[in-house]
Structure formats: structure tokens, C-alpha cells
Structure 1
Amino acid sequence: MTAALVEHDTAPDRRSWDLLLQAWRELDVPEGWHAEIDEGQIVLVPPPHRHHNGIADALQRVLYRVVPDELGVYQTLGIHIAPLDKLYVPDLALVPREVVDAADPDTNDPLDASETLLVVEITSQSNAKDDRTKKLWAYAHAPVPVYLLVDRFDEHGPTATLFTGPQNGAYKHAERVPFGESLKLPEPFAATVDTAGFPG
């Protein structure tokens, strides 16, 4: 009886998700923008500031120096947080190339977030709170093993925080440094990120 109730209760949510996902696939988003699905609705995210792109470029260069060839560093890759039916487009995602290459070329389905090894979000003034709270919570639920939050708008000054060890919907470890200090990424992409060169 419980299984039947669960199935009945979740069926409308599944249909709603399928409709949202179909709309997301077909959406004609202005150049530079991207769309995400959060809290049962499609949200349009405007193009980021040049400093935001400068940080993404610096991080991508660091990662390309250390990641093995079988891993790729991707921008604008839609990822689905299946336990929560959310779809985010992180600033950078480190994913096995074979997972991305295996996607159906005729559809624009998002990647399951549990397939990612590292997700990077770089805050913009308009979305900093979401990156610090909602996305932190969602990535831990996925679970994404490593979440790097580069927060240019932290109330105590620009910071970078590395979250690791997701367990039961929360990260067990967090290491936070102000811009100007270095942050060590864990294996398998062990690299030192020098935040001194990040534009604030």
C-alpha cells in the first residue's frame, strides 16, 4: 500500500518534470544566456561579467594542466540533480569524456550530476546567494564529489571554498581561502589553484 501511495503521489511530479525538461530542450535562449530548472520552473540566467569569465578561464587552464586525457573540462553543460529534479548549468564541470561522448546527438538531454567529478560555480551579484545555498545543497544531494565555489561577493571579501565528502545531502569538509591564497584540489585532479590572479 505504501508503494502504491508513493507512486501515486510522485506521478504528477514526474509529468511536470518531463514537461519542464521538454520545454528546456526546445527553449530558444538569447546568445550568452542559459536556462536552468529550479523549484519547478525554468529560470533564465544572463551572461556573466568579464571578471567572471576571467576566473573561469584561469581555473580551466589550471585543470587542463593536471587532468588526464580521459577527463574533460566543460562549460555550459546542463547537469540534472536527479534526486531533486533540478537542472543547473555550472560554470565548469569536470566529467569523463566518454560520458559526454555517449550522449544521444539528436537530443539535448542534461548529464546526470552524479557523473561529474567536480563542479565549479563562480558567483555573480544576482545569483551569489543561490550558489552559496541552493546549489551547495543540490550538488551535495547529487552527489557531486567536489564543489568549488568562487565567491567574488562574499561579505568578508572575495573567497574560494572547496566542498568535499558529500554525505546525506551535505558536504562533510569545507576549506575556504580569501583571494590571494592558494587552494589545493584533491585527487584525481590534484592541482593548486592560486587565487591571487583572480579578478575581483
Structure 2
Amino acid sequence: MTAAMVEPDQTPQGRPWDYLLQSWREVDAPEGWRAEIDEGQIVLVPPPHARHHHIAGVVQRALYRNLPEELDIYQTLGLHIAPLDKLYVPDLVVVPSELTATADPDSNDPVDAAEALLVVEITSKSNAKDDRTKKLCAYAHAPVPVYVLIDRFDEHGPTTTVFTEPLNGAYKHAERVPFGETLSLGEPLSTDIDTGRFPR
């Protein structure tokens, strides 16, 4: 993971966030890399491992089984966490289809994370701590109703945790299962994810 710091004296008139967002829109990241905004920096996240992609595919197929017509799933959609001026590109995000169908064709603006119904992050060795802490906190602040953390590198063994009921920047409820067990998601997705299909 690499970062490009935006110094205050380099920021033109206006809010630093506006400058960061404009810079993010213009980033020419290498193929497969994702640009995010965190702590006043544009951060480039390298392409994940093939097993990471496999897990994303398993989850996406499971979500599509019962996905309401008015919702869609994306793997490269930027989410703006407005209360914290952060921008993440989660591994999977479920949002109302209308948000992308009616988006400005000349803009590459991120979607307000408060519009997301579910976000999935799959840890890599280089970013596991961020997914467990910074992103957990950010998605709760958004607030995103459901955050699914798939952690292949948990110190107790590979696990999947579903965080729900965000309140005041924290999730009130968490259900954690080891790889191999089935995880149930409630409304509006109403689907089961067989974590036994996740490679370790």
C-alpha cells in the first residue's frame, strides 16, 4: 500500500477534502489498483490475491440469490464516509440501483456511504488491521447498516464477522463464525453464505 500526502500549503482555496476528492478523480492508478482517501492522504491499494477474488465471487453469487430487483452489487464503487471525510472502495457493496443508474455521466464521484445497505471487506496481509479497525469505525460512522468482515488472517483462524446496528460510530451487534460455518444475513438480503467455500 502506498500513500500520497496532500500538504495544507498545496491545497488551493476551499476545503482540503474538495482538493483531495478532485485529486482522487484524476488518479491514474495502475490496472487492478484502487485509490482511496484516508487521513488526509490518497492511498493506492494494490491488487488482491487470487484467493481474495475467489471469496468475493462466492459472496457475490450468494447475495444475488435473493437480491431485490432495486438493489445492485459492485466491486469497484467508491464510498464517501462524509462524517469522517474518508473514501473507501470496498471489495463488495450493495446499494440501490437508482444511485448508479442516475449518476452524472461526466462525473466519477463516489456514492454517499450512508446509501449502502451492506459493505464487504476481505482482508489481505497488508491491510487486515485497517479492515478490522479503521474501516470498521468508518462504516459505523457512515452509517452502513451491515458490515461483513472476511478475515483470512485472524489470529484465531480464518473468520467471518457480520457487524450490524450502527449507533454513534460503533456497531452494537457482531456475529462471528469460523470458516466452514454458514453465515445468515437478515433483511433485505435474506441470504446464507457458506464460508466453507472460502479458501484459507
Range of TM-score over shorter length = over 0.9
**How big is each residue's C-alpha offset from its partner over 1:64-102, in whole Å with a ceiling of 9 and x where there is no partner?**
111011100101100000000000000000000001112
Unaligned 5+ residue runs, structure 2?
1-11
Match of 1:184 in 2: 184
| Structure 1 counterpart of 2:76, one-letter code | T
Matches within 5 A, 1:40-55: 40-55=40-55
Q: CA deviation at 1:117?
A: 0.2
Matches within 5 A, 1:77-156: 77-156=77-156
Structure 2 distance, partners of 1:29, 1:147, is 26
The answer to whether 1:68 aligns with 2:68 is: yes
Structure 2 distance, partners of 1:161, 1:139, is 14
Match of 1:30 in 2: 30
Matched position secondary structure for 1:162: strand
Structure 2 distance, partners of 1:141, 1:152, is 25
Matched position secondary structure for 2:136: helix
| Bigger share in helix | 1
| Structure 2 counterpart of 1:108, one-letter code | N
TM-score for both structures, normalised by structure 1: 0.93
Seq. identity, % = 72
**How big is each residue's C-alpha offset from its partner over 1:27-81, in whole Å with a ceiling of 9 and x where there is no partner?**
1000000100000000000000000000000000001111011100101100000
TM-score for both structures, normalised by structure 2: 0.93
Structure 2 distance, partners of 1:37, 1:102, is 24
Structure 1 distance, partners of 2:68, 2:42, is 35
Match of 2:3 in 1: none
Unaligned 5+ residue runs, structure 1?
1-11
**How big is each residue's C-alpha offset from its partner over 1:8-28, in whole Å with a ceiling of 9 and x where there is no partner?**
xxxx99611000000000110
Match of 1:159 in 2: 159
**How big is each residue's C-alpha offset from its partner over 1:136-192, in whole Å with a ceiling of 9 and x where there is no partner?**
000000000000000000000100000000001100000000000111101010111
Structure 1 distance, partners of 2:13, 2:89, is 22
Match of 1:56 in 2: 56
Matched position secondary structure for 1:80: strand
Q: Where has structure 1 moved over 4 Å in runs of 4 or more? A: none
Aligned CA RMSD, in angstroms, stands at 1.2
Match of 1:5 in 2: none
Structure 2 distance, partners of 1:60, 1:35, is 22
Match of 2:173 in 1: 173
Matched position secondary structure for 1:57: helix
